[in-house]
Amino acid sequence: MIDEETRRLRAYQIWESEGRPEGRDLAHWYKAGEADFDASHDRPPFLRYSPGAAPARSLVIKFYHSGDQIRGYVRKIAEPGADDTIFPGEEMEPDAAFKLANSHNGDSGRPIFIELVEGVPWDASWGELGSDGPEPIPPETDDARAADDLVANRRRKKLVKEADKGFRQAIAESDETIETTLPAREARRGKK
């Protein structure tokens, strides 16, 4: 027999894993009371993230060290050419990051990708971390770089815009220079 607090937590996990449906609280409560309940069974699989491995609309939880604690945030991979969505709540504890990712993943059945940085180890209590996933895009491609580093992708886009603006400005200035120097040259030639 499980205690009420454990059962309440299990029911919450079931509700989260099913995409927070309304009107199923009693079904979740009974399911949570089952002795052989396994919360990880209802969760989508976790796969190790590598640049370019996560298709568009996939969720990635990135874990990192913040002081002596492990923190994480959740992002949704965008379609090519668009910026990824970073969900609010950066500096989340791992459990909160998993809850947020599961709630946004709903019942899609898509895996949730995990990115471990700065020597963060995988904690077995979080579930099972698989490494099987889609074949990653080679790291030398733009898509892989964009998927891996949002900040660099935004900087690249900004630089392209600035370069285009500078190029247009240089053309306009050279047209003005030609317009002002041609009459001066013609005037000098006429004086000689």
Let me know: does 131 contact 111? Beta carbons within 8 Å.
no
pLDDT band at 140 (very low <50, low <70, confident <90, very high): very low
CA angle at 66 for the pair 99 and 115, rounded to the nearest 5°: 55
Check pLDDT > 60 for residue 104: yes
| pLDDT tens readout for residues 44-67 | 578 999 877 788 889 999 999 988
Q: What are phi and psi of 150, to 5 degrees?
A: -65, -40
| pLDDT tens readout for residues 64-99 | 998 889 999 999 998 888 888 888 766 788 888 888
Task: Give pLDDT, residue 133.
Answer: 47
Pick the closest to residue 59 from 39, 71, 45 (CA basis). Answer: 45
Alpha-carbon torsion (142, 143, 149, 150), positive or negative: positive
Check pLDDT > 80 for residue 114: yes
Task: Give pLDDT, residue 55.
Answer: 87
Radius of gyration of the chain from its Cα atoms, rounded to whole angstroms: 27
